[in-house]
Each structure stands twice: as structure tokens, then as C-alpha cells.
Structure 1
Amino acid sequence: MSKRINSPDTEADITLRTYLDIYPHVCFNMIAGAGSGKTTSLIKALSHIVQNHGAKLKMRGQHVACITYTEIAAREIWDDVGNSPLIDVSTIHSFLWKIIRPFQKDIKDWVIERVGEKIKEREERINRSGTRATTKEKLRKEINKLNRQANAVEKVPFFNYGTGSSYDNGILGHDDIIKMAVSYLNSSEVLRKIIGQKYPYIFVDESQDTFPEIVEALSLVRITNGDRFCLGFFGDPMQKIYPSGIGDLPGDREWKIIKKPENFRCSKEVLDVINNIRRTGDGLEQTQGNKTVGSARIFVLPLVDEQQRTEYLRKVQEKCVSISDDQLWLADGHVKILVLVHRMAAKRLKFPKLFAAMNDNAPLSFKNGLTDGSAWPLAFFLKFVLPLATTKLKGDNTMVMRMLRAHSPRLNKEQLKGTEVRQALEQLKVGLDMLVKQLGDGSQSTVLDVLNTLKNTDMVKLDERLIRYMEGNAEETDELEDDEEGKEALSMQNFFAVPAVEFWGYLKYYNNQSPFATQQGVKGAQFDRVITILDDDEGKHAQFSYDKYFGLKELSTDDSKNVKEGKDYVIPRTRRLFYVSCSRAKKHLVVIYYTADVEKAIMNIKRMKIFPEEQIFKVEDLN
């Protein structure tokens, strides 16, 4: 049984169980701050349903659906509920695909219609006044390709779900799944009834980051199925960090609101800081469930070059050692450093070109897949190329042979006869030696060089998408920056030019072996010692601005317009990100804020009363 399930109940847990036992079913929204044990409450709720209503669900062939934000979270929840067959835990994309997958004819019709929409969009751009001749020619090439795609789609026997779209190969990407499923849920009462009958309980984790159209579609499922259906949300509006998320759920007088104010993670010193941050947001004050003694400090430092920033970071760590007599501030693996954007981490870990290729003007599937390694070009390197090179460097020839036998066409038993085995092994050895050299320190080899080595030596059967881009057959799609396929082609060109050695830095980042992480990417994580770096100058992220949050810069025209219209804008967005990053600290928190006007920043921070005045430091204090 999970430790989470065995943990003491909070008032929110008891209240939720009461609601789960009510019939007619009621829908609810649990608002749980950072460190409150939101996932624990979710797991307890799932376990309660299985224990108290499982027999009835089993008799009716019904399940409980639990929708999470990531595959990692899904696996954790699945393990914690004891792998119960009555509970389906999945990401929103996987859940929606499970629902619509049986309707293959409808899927094909939708894809054909989607391709038609893309053709129409390009035709409208061609006919638009002011469109340049060169752009028109590019658009016509796109239309020709889309027409070929439409013809190919007609012959696709079955569609599957992948990270990126490839319609002519029968692959639907993340965006397609969302658009298609939402469209079907909104238009088909029958489908909504089917969902309600199969899943009388649907729980949504991290509800604040769920797409508004998904919340609306699930609400329609609730309306269609009435009191036979329970829809439950678990989240925290203060931890909404993705612009596509809904944040606050729309008010519904029929929903039960459950607030969980406890914080079992943070020391009192850290908790005081995050409560002060939250005070100007939704005002929820978290109560302490952790008696650990810790610390919370902010260092306000002047803008300097990158080398000086690195020196300042080291001096801050040394200062923390001298203040607290805690040598772990300087020990590898004991401090997590949170930066604003992945690019800052990529620069420090030496994979800037790989980051740029997968992020700058890249398709959404590449951008999203950069963080967790799910983007298909990255996944191939993470799952095969780097493990193979690492195994070879370790001298584990037995494992190398296992990997090659599993993946190399040269070792296909049906093709090998007599002396051909020795020849194949010799060829593969040459390829392996070249691969290790291309990935070695100081190598100038590019990703394309590595792929050509793999291809020319038959070390592995390459993904058809890789081969298509390597052979230049996708060049006609690379001009249109506002098209996902065009973006993918441009990204792949840049990807091929990346120095292959950058993958080692990325691997550290992917495996969390680096001290660096992004403030957006650590939601749900916790660390004993956290340093969060606030640096608008290096981050250059339009969505967030710590200078505006601390009152050093005026709001932009767009910000002011959004304020008047009651829309989200830069200050609440930055406040939420600041709350998320500071609330990762279990014991000790350090904030380093780089700004052009140190004195004004300190004055405003004192006025905002986020940190105690005696815990506000400047560069003179580092000496």
C-alpha cells in the first residue's frame, strides 16, 4: 500500500470522501497550494472509490479516469494506487485518444477536412493583396504537397497517435488529438454519454494548466450525464505557469469547493516568503505542517556579464556557507539552481544550438518534447545513440552486441550466411569506432554526420522521417514559418547542423543530473536547497518580467490594455512563477535578482514585505 494513502488525513481529505459517497454525484474543485499534498488527496480519493464502490464499478464494466499532465505523473499515481485495474491513469492526450481511437472512419474524415482547411488557408494567402511573388510560389508548393497528402490519407488503413503529425503515414500529433477530440465531444451527445457510462468518475490533476476547451468539453460531459457522473478537479490557480492553461476554473454553483491550505514541504522561513508572495494574488494563506528550521534570503545584484554572473553565484553560495555553517551549499548534488528559461540552462550545460534547433520557431511538438525528451528526433538519440556510445566506452561488448542484434539490419539472421557474419561485425566495429569519435570531446561532427554513420554502416534502421529529411525530400516544406510542417523542416535543418557533442550536456539535463532546471519545469518537485535566479536581461521572456513585478519597469501598452479588459498580464504571471519556484525549497531558499537599479529594487522589495529586511543582501555583502 502506498505511503501516501497511509498518511494522516487532512480536513480536505475527509470532506472529499464525504462528497464521493453522495448520490446523486456532485462535482468538486480542490484548491491545494504548493506542498499541500494535492497528489496525496487525489490518490486517497481514487483508493476510496475502489474500496467503497469498486464492486459496483466492476459489475457494470466501469472505470475511474484520472487525467494527469505528464507521463511521469501518470506512472507515479498508477504505482501509488496499486495498479488497480479499475483506475485508468493517463495524460489528457492519451485519454482523449483512447476515447476517439475506435472511430477510425470519423478520424479519416476529420484529417481530410483538416488538410482541406490548410489548403484553403494557403489559397487565401495567395489571393491576399501584398503577398510577395516568392511567397506565393512557396505557398503553391505547400498546396501541392497537401494535395498529395490528401490523396495518401485516403489510403491510410489505420491512424495512430504520435508526438508529431504525419498524416500520410497515419500519425496524429498532440495538437490534432486535442482539436479532434474537443470537436467530437462538443458535437456528439452520444459520445458524451458513452464516456459518462464508461467513466462515472473523471478526475483532472493540475487542473490550472488544463486547456480551457478541455475543461469546457468535460463540463459538457457532466451536463449530458447529470447526477450519474462525478467530475473532479485538483489544482492550484497560483501555480498556473503555462499561458494555454485555464487557471481559475469558471464558477459553477453546483460544484463543491474544497480548500487544502496545509504546506507539508517548506520550512517556516520559506513558507513565510511564499505566503507573502501569494498574499497579493488569491490571498490563500498556507499553514505549516513542516517544523523544519530553514532560511530564506534574497541577493539583489547588478547586471554583469555572464562570467561575472557565474562568479556571483559562487560567492552567494560561499556567503550561505559562512552564514549558516552549512558546507552543502557548495556540494555537488545538494543545490538546485532554477533559471527562467531552458536557454539559460542550455547555455550553462553547453547545448545551446541543440536547444535553439528544437525551440526557436520550432513546431509545438518539438518545444514540448524538449523538456522530457519526447520530441521524436531527440528520443532516438536518448534511447539508442547515446546508450550505445556509452556502452561501447565502458567496454561492455556483450551489451553492445545485444543492442546491435536488436537494432542492426546487418545482423538480421535471414540475411547472414557463413562468412558474412564476420564481415558484418567488422563493418559495425568501424561504425562504432567512428560513432564514439564523433561524440568524443573536441569533435566537430554534426548530428547529420552521426546519422550518416549510423545509416551507412547499417547500425540501426533509421526512422523514415529522419531519412526523408536527410535525403532532402522535405525541402519544399521549409519556407513557411507559420506552418507546423514548415517549422519542423526548418528545425530539422538546424538540428542536423548541431554539434553532436552537445547531446551529452542535454543528457545531463534530461536525467536531472545537472544542478540547473527551469522555474517552469520543476512544478511538483522539491529540494532541500534552492537558488532561484531572476534575470530579465538574460531570460528575455515576454511572458514574465521580474523588473515589472518589483516595480522597476512600467507596464507596456499591451499590459495596460489587458489590465483594463480583466485579462491575465505580466505581473500576475510573474507572481505565479515566483511562487512556484520559491515553493520548491524544503529547507533553504536563496533568490538572486539581477537588475540595473539595485537600490530601487531593494527599496521596493522592502515595501512589498516578501523577505525580512535582515535577509536582503547586495553585492557588498558578498565580500
Structure 2
Amino acid sequence: MMYEESQDVLIEEVKVFDTLLGYVNDRKPFYFLSGAGSGKTHALISLIKKIMHDKKSQLALSRQKILCITYTNNAKDEIISRLGENDLVYVSTIHNFLWDMIQHHMDALVVIHVTYLTDLIKKNESELFYDENDKPAYQVYRGLNQAEIEAITDFILEDNESYYKMQELNAGDFWQILNDELGEDLGKKLKTNKSHVLKIFSCIRRIYNYKNCLKNIAEGVRGYDFIEYNIRNAECLYKNRIGHDTLLLYSYKLMENYPYFANILIDKFPYTFVDEYQDTHDNVVAFFKLIIERLKPSDSQYLIGLFGDPSQEIYSSGGRTSFLTLDEVHKNINRRSHDQIIDCINKIRGGHQPIKQVSIFRNKNLGSVKCYIYPMSKCNKSDIEEIIDSYRSEWDVSLSNQMACLVSKNEMLAEVCNFSNLYSKVNDLFVAENKNNYKKVNDEFVVNNVDKFGSFASIMYSYCKPAYLLKVKSDAPIIELFPKLYLQECTVKDIGMAVRKLNTLSYCSLEEYFVNLYELFNTTKNKRVKSLFQSLLPIDFDSEDVWKEKLVRYCGLRKVKFDDEVFQNFLKVDFDEMIHWMKYINSNKTDSPVNVMTCHSSKGLEYENVIVFLNDKMNKKHTYFSSLLNSDLNVELSPDLEEVRRLLYVSTSRAVKNLRVVLFSDNELEKDSIQKIFNDCVFFS
């Protein structure tokens, strides 16, 4: 069906874009605030194209570029695909952009690193000796003599493996180890609270490591004269290796302490646009705020434009303390959805905020919105799949009429996508490594793409990639399996032999896969074929014991060892679950009639048909969604409820025509208030 655009709304859209152009031409900073489906990315690209057209010669002559910062690699790729490769535009994620800029100022970075480590040492020493801490363990430690403190320090620094294993001991065995290693008198003094004593030990280790790092920097030890940024976020500050958040902090500190750095950026990028501004880290906001503050009042050679929507802030790392107070340009137009969807998402946003969308189309009003409430007992793979199948049939889902199934929890995702046991065993591994790692499986393993992998996921993905390609993508070009550099040294016969050998591997579990891959490598005589196998391995197959030790270490595990029960349980996972996990990672979210993903990862996408599965038990709460649905959405709510509102808004606004919200909850819900949002609400027992 053809939809007719409203001339009045079209005129309003043109006015909004002309307003943005006015800010660009006047080099006046602005914040373009508009809701889901409004065409923010289209407006951003149109502005960039207009600048490229009008300022092409000037930018080229000055060797300047337009800077466009995005939140994700997917968003970056989307913008590049729409703009095309162009020497006048630099499109990058914030982390890549900042590292690309600051790595050329290494001396200054090392100074910042030294200052930061010095501050961390003071902070840890304050915790040990000076904080108002009445915990008995700290009082005991502060009363020890120098010899006793040195004995404790020597003990916990002597053997890393023993130290990490000691943390997993029960209290009785823990105190016995201290008695055996430190002497009964000192052991008895320390016998207070195990977790508090371990915090003290951890503090001592940090202080030692940071001081040793500072010593190495001061003495010019090789490897300590530069800072390394780890894209996998495997930070180790005392080895001069920083992760994502520290990169943002150091970038801000460089801007704060070295005013010349602002001039470099202004000269290099006279036009800066930040997409998805609402998700921008506080230190990045402070970074750009410093640039603006350092502009001379008469300087009109720099422009920053922000594009975002506070109602879609779902990746925030905490409360914001830095703000860019810029003129706001609002757009109250939706180009995506049918009227029924727009009405629903307007109600979720609430009438207290400035964005209230209308459709660009006069007659796009065939949408359908419903909410279903099921008891928690129905929140299982079988019932969820039954719901999905029923709508797949009802909506006649196909590649040209796709459906997205959004789930609020990663556990639900893993179950629906057939890798729930793998998810559980990886989570057990992370928690065994550190009891505070309960979110790590979601942050580093079940992620949108390989760029967000942690060390463990990266290693496992690399090992299993050959099996995945041969089983799932058998028609993939050979260069996807073997690196070009290795292929150049081999004959067609060599390559064929290598593929046949890989295809004949027999395995049911991850353990069997590793064993058989190891045996295949060691029994292959043809050196060229063996080199092809070598190219697939993230870790060299040395002797079995060495390889096992390397595997867990490269996976980022320090306490957990290869032969530990928790790691062996992981290795016993059905290999098909690894394949299903890799299928999820590699899905582009648009390559199937039915696409399953988390609510968070759906951001920026759109589908004709959407089912949102919500679990009321989330983030350690039992009324996560029901509390919001029972609230007045036309007022500012508590920070916790606003977080839920934003997630619900992002999820529901993916729908173009048909939207179903399925809530699993055993809590009381007010049907009237829910019907005001979703028009139709059905309760199931």
C-alpha cells in the first residue's frame, strides 16, 4: 500500500532541517533532539553532505575533515555506507577516535598515567590506614608492627596462584593457611572477618603493583615508556595497559592539562557531530565541554552538533555530572511507524517531556498494538516459542515481512537461541574467577558482535570458528577460513586436504573438539597443511600441559585452572550450543524472517512486526516492569523507573506495524492503566 505524506508535516520537517542548517552556517552549537523513527541519522547525513558540497574546496585546501562520532561500530558502518568513502569525513566510534588522537601524545599520556597511579596509591593507602573504618580487621592491621606488615606483604606477593586459590577457601581452611604461613600469633591477630581481610590483602597488592609500575616508568624499563589501549577492555594499569573507561578519562585529562590539544582538534575537525549523544560517557561530555570553553568569543571556526534522544538512553554508565548546555532543536515527526504504534510510544514517553510525535503520513493507520500478561510459570522456551510460532503464522512472516522477538534478559535469549547450558557454564566460570563477575557473561560473551568480546569469548570464538564456517557457512570463500598470507604458500591440493581433514573431525562436546583438533595438528605431516591449521589457532599447540596453562591464561582466568571442575564442566557443553552461540553473534539482525535479540541490542533497528518479551524479575527486582506500568507516565518518575521507561520505549518503538508486548509477572497489575498505553490488554492464568 502506498502511503500519502502530509504536506503540512512535510513543511514542518523542512523547517526543522533549515533550522539545523542555520546553526551549521552560523557555526553555533546545537542539540538535535528527536524521538525514535524521526530520521535523526538521515538528518545527520544530509547535513554532512551539505557541508561537503558547500565547503569541499575549503576543507580540502586546509586538510580538514568533518568528524562524525558514533556509539557503535554498526552505526559507524551504516553512516559510512550512506555517505560512501570520502576523504572529507572521518566517521569513528568514540573510543577509536580518542585513541587515534591521543596516542600521538605519548609523553603526556605517561605523565597522566603516573599521576593517576599516584592518586590510586594514595586512595588505597588511605583505605588501609586512615579511613574512618571501624571494621575489626582494619583496626587489627593498623595496630601491627612493621615486621608483621612486611611478613603479610611478603606472603601475599610470593605466589600469585596460591594467593588466588586462598580466596576460594572456606573460612576454617583460610585461617589455618594464615596460621601456617604467618605463624600462629599473627594468624590469631588477623582472625576477624575473612572478606575484610581479603580486601586488605587486595589493597596491599594494588599498592605494591602500582608502586612497582611507577618505579619501572621512572627507571625507563623497556615497555613502560608508553601506554597501550586494549580494545578488548582487558585493563591492567600496573602494566601500562588501559581499557575503555580509562581511555575516556585520560583523554579528558589530556584535554584538561594540555590546552594545545583543543587547538589541534579544532584545526583538524572544524565540524564535529556526535550521534546517540544521550549514551555518551560523562568524561566524553566533559572533553567536548572543555573544547567549547576554550574557544575564543570571536572564534566561529568550530561547530559541535549533538544528535540524540534522552528517552533512548539505555547504555549510560552512571549519573551525569557534565552537561553541554546548547540550543535544542526538536523534531516531533515519525517516519517509521503506523499511527497506532506512534500513539503507544508517545504514551510511554509521557506528556511531561517535549517530544510528541505525529506521523509524516496521512493514511498510515493500519497498525495493531496489544499487551498480554502471563504468569511467571509461562516464561519458558516452550511457551515463548509457541507465541512466536502463532504470530509467525498470523502475520505471514517472511524475509520481506520480518518479525523481531525482543527479550529483556540474556538468559531468555540464550534459552530461545539454544545455548542456555553454554550460557550457564560460562557464567559459572566467570563467577568462580570472581564472585563480582555475575554480569560479565552479558557484557563480554552474549554481545552484539565480536568487537565487544572479552578475552574468554574471543579465544573460544577463534578456536570454534573453523567448525562454524564448515558447518553453517559451507559456501563461504576459503579466505574466510584461512588467512590470505598462509594460502599464498599452499597449493590447491594442500588447501583441499586441510578442509577435508577438518571436515572429518568427530566431536560432540567442546572437550572432544579440542582433543581431536590437537591430535589432528600433531599428526599432520604435510608442513604446508600444518601451517594452515596453525593459522586457525589463537594459541600455539605446544605440549599438552603448556597449552592448557596458556589457554586459561589467555582467556583471562587467573584463579580458575584447566583441570578445575568448573572449567571441565564448561568443556563438556554440547558443541552444537557453541554453534548456536556463534550463529547469534554473527546474525546481522535482519537476515532471517524471525530475528531474536535482546531489547538493548535492538536499538537503531526497525521491523514490520515486533514481539517484546518482558520478565518482571530483572536486575534483582521482582516488579521491574509492573512498577512502571502501574505508574503515572505523564510525570517524571524515580531514576529506577525512568530506566525501565527508556528500555520499554526503545523496545516498542522498533515496530512499524504490529506490536505485541508479553509480560511475565506474578504481580498485581492495573488493567485500566495498561490499556491506556496498549489499547488492548489480555491477562492469562
TM category, shorter = 0.7 to 0.9
User: Could you tell me whether the CA contact under 8 Å between 2:98 and 2:248 is conserved in 1?
Assistant: yes
Find the counterpart in structure 2 of residue 244 from structure 1.
Answer: 317
Find the counterpart in structure 2 of residue 164 from structure 1.
Answer: 233
Find the counterpart in structure 1 of residue 409 from structure 2.
Answer: 341
* Separation (CA, whole Å) in 2 of partners of 1:475 and 1:137: 24
* Separation (CA, whole Å) in 2 of partners of 1:158 and 1:46: 36
Equivalent position SS for 2:673: helix
2:359 to 264, 275, 288: 288
| Counterpart amino acid of residue 390 in structure 2 | E
Alignment pair present for 1:367 and 2:367:
no
| Counterpart amino acid of residue 290 in structure 2 | L
Find the counterpart in structure 2 of residue 196 from structure 1.
Answer: 266
Say which is worse superposed, 168-177 or 293-302, in terms of deviation.
168-177
| Counterpart amino acid of residue 391 in structure 1 | L
1:531 to 594, 603, 611: 611
* Separation (CA, whole Å) in 2 of partners of 1:585 and 1:315: 17
Say which is worse superposed, 390-399 or 210-219, in terms of deviation.
390-399
Instruction: Summarize the Cα distance change of 1:390–1:573 in structure 2 as closer, same or farther, 3 Å threshold.
Output: same
Query: Displacement, 1:389?
Result: 4.6
Alignment pair present for 1:617 and 2:617:
no
Q: Deviations over 1:29-84 (max 9, x none)?
A: 00111000000000011111111122222222221111100111112112222322
Find the counterpart in structure 1 of residue 186 from structure 2.
Answer: none
Instruction: Summarize the Cα distance change of 1:144–1:256 in structure 2 as closer, same or farther, 3 Å threshold.
Output: closer
Query: Displacement, 1:277?
Result: 1.2
* Separation (CA, whole Å) in 2 of partners of 1:490 and 1:231: 54
User: Could you tell me whether the CA contact under 8 Å between 1:300 and 1:593 is conserved in 2?
Assistant: yes
User: Could you tell me whether the CA contact under 8 Å between 2:616 and 2:663 is conserved in 1?
Assistant: no
Task: Give the root-mean-square deviation of aligned CA atoms.
Answer: 4.5
* Separation (CA, whole Å) in 2 of partners of 1:394 and 1:262: 42
* Separation (CA, whole Å) in 1 of partners of 2:239 and 2:212: 12
Say which is worse superposed, 271-280 or 102-111, in terms of deviation.
102-111
Query: Displacement, 1:392?
Result: 6.9
Find the counterpart in structure 2 of residue 602 from structure 1.
Answer: 671
User: Could you tell me whether the CA contact under 8 Å between 1:158 and 1:170 is conserved in 2?
Assistant: yes
Q: Deviations over 1:600-623 (max 9, x none)?
A: 4323313xx1122xx222338xxx
- 5+ unaligned residues in a row in structure 1: which ranges? 1-6, 481-485, 555-562
Instruction: Summarize the Cα distance change of 1:215–1:251 in structure 2 as closer, same or farther, 3 Å threshold.
Output: closer
2:22 to 13, 18, 21: 18
Equivalent position SS for 1:328: coil
Identity of aligned residues (%): 23
User: Could you tell me whether the CA contact under 8 Å between 1:261 and 1:287 is conserved in 2?
Assistant: yes
* Separation (CA, whole Å) in 2 of partners of 1:494 and 1:91: 37
User: Could you tell me whether the CA contact under 8 Å between 2:368 and 2:658 is conserved in 1?
Assistant: yes
* Separation (CA, whole Å) in 2 of partners of 1:74 and 1:426: 37
| Counterpart amino acid of residue 217 in structure 1 | F
Equivalent position SS for 1:243: coil
Alignment pair present for 1:505 and 2:580:
yes
* Separation (CA, whole Å) in 1 of partners of 2:515 and 2:211: 33
Alignment pair present for 1:550 and 2:625:
no
Find the counterpart in structure 1 of residue 332 from structure 2.
Answer: 261
Query: Displacement, 1:378?
Result: 3.0
| Counterpart amino acid of residue 525 in structure 1 | L
* Separation (CA, whole Å) in 2 of partners of 1:74 and 1:366: 23
Say which is worse superposed, 379-388 or 520-529, in terms of deviation.
379-388
* Separation (CA, whole Å) in 2 of partners of 1:249 and 1:10: 32
Instruction: Summarize the Cα distance change of 1:80–1:619 in structure 2 as closer, same or farther, 3 Å threshold.
Output: same
Instruction: Summarize the Cα distance change of 1:116–1:73 in structure 2 as closer, same or farther, 3 Å threshold.
Output: same
Alignment pair present for 1:275 and 2:346:
yes
| Counterpart amino acid of residue 13 in structure 1 | F
Say which is worse superposed, 211-220 or 231-240, in terms of deviation.
211-220
Q: Deviations over 1:377-418 (max 9, x none)?
A: 434554673245533787779938x8446587xx996xx9xx
2:534 to 460, 464, 468: 460
Query: Displacement, 1:245?
Result: 6.6
* Separation (CA, whole Å) in 1 of partners of 2:423 and 2:289: 38
| Higher gyration radius (CA) | 2
Instruction: Summarize the Cα distance change of 1:310–1:397 in structure 2 as closer, same or farther, 3 Å threshold.
Output: closer
Find the counterpart in structure 1 of residue 386 from structure 2.
Answer: 314
* Separation (CA, whole Å) in 1 of partners of 2:116 and 2:280: 24
Find the counterpart in structure 2 of residue 571 from structure 1.
Answer: 641
Alignment pair present for 1:390 and 2:469:
yes
Query: Displacement, 1:364?
Result: 7.0
1:445 to 487, 498, 511: 511
* Separation (CA, whole Å) in 2 of partners of 1:340 and 1:520: 8
Equivalent position SS for 1:524: coil
Query: Displacement, 1:534?
Result: 1.9
| Counterpart amino acid of residue 683 in structure 2 | K
Alignment of 1:19-418 (within 5 A): 19-22=23-26, 25-115=27-117, 128-129=138-139, 132=194, 133=197, 136-137=200-201, 151=216, 154-156=221-223, 159-161=227-229, 162-165=231-234, 171-226=241-296, 227-244=300-317, 250=323, 252=325, 255-280=326-351, 282-290=353-361, 291-292=363-364, 293-307=366-380, 310-311=382-383, 314-315=386-387, 318=390, 326-328=395-397, 334-352=402-420, 354-355=422-423, 357=426, 361=437, 367=443, 370-374=447-451, 375=453, 376-382=455-461, 385-387=464-466, 389-391=468-470, 399=478, 403-404=481-482, 406=484
* Separation (CA, whole Å) in 1 of partners of 2:389 and 2:193: 55
Equivalent position SS for 1:89: strand
User: Could you tell me whether the CA contact under 8 Å between 1:208 and 1:246 is conserved in 2?
Assistant: no
Equivalent position SS for 1:437: coil
Equivalent position SS for 1:296: strand
* Separation (CA, whole Å) in 2 of partners of 1:90 and 1:433: 39
Q: Deviations over 1:293-336 (max 9, x none)?
A: 221111122221444x7326625763796xxx64339x998321
* Separation (CA, whole Å) in 2 of partners of 1:181 and 1:455: 45
Query: Displacement, 1:506?
Result: 1.5
* Separation (CA, whole Å) in 1 of partners of 2:61 and 2:102: 24
Q: Deviations over 1:81-133 (max 9, x none)?
A: 23221111101101111210101222233344555555555555665446745
Query: Displacement, 1:342?
Result: 2.0
* Separation (CA, whole Å) in 2 of partners of 1:619 and 1:113: 60
User: Could you tell me whether the CA contact under 8 Å between 1:29 and 1:234 is conserved in 2?
Assistant: yes
Instruction: Summarize the Cα distance change of 1:363–1:107 in structure 2 as closer, same or farther, 3 Å threshold.
Output: farther
Instruction: Summarize the Cα distance change of 1:366–1:73 in structure 2 as closer, same or farther, 3 Å threshold.
Output: same
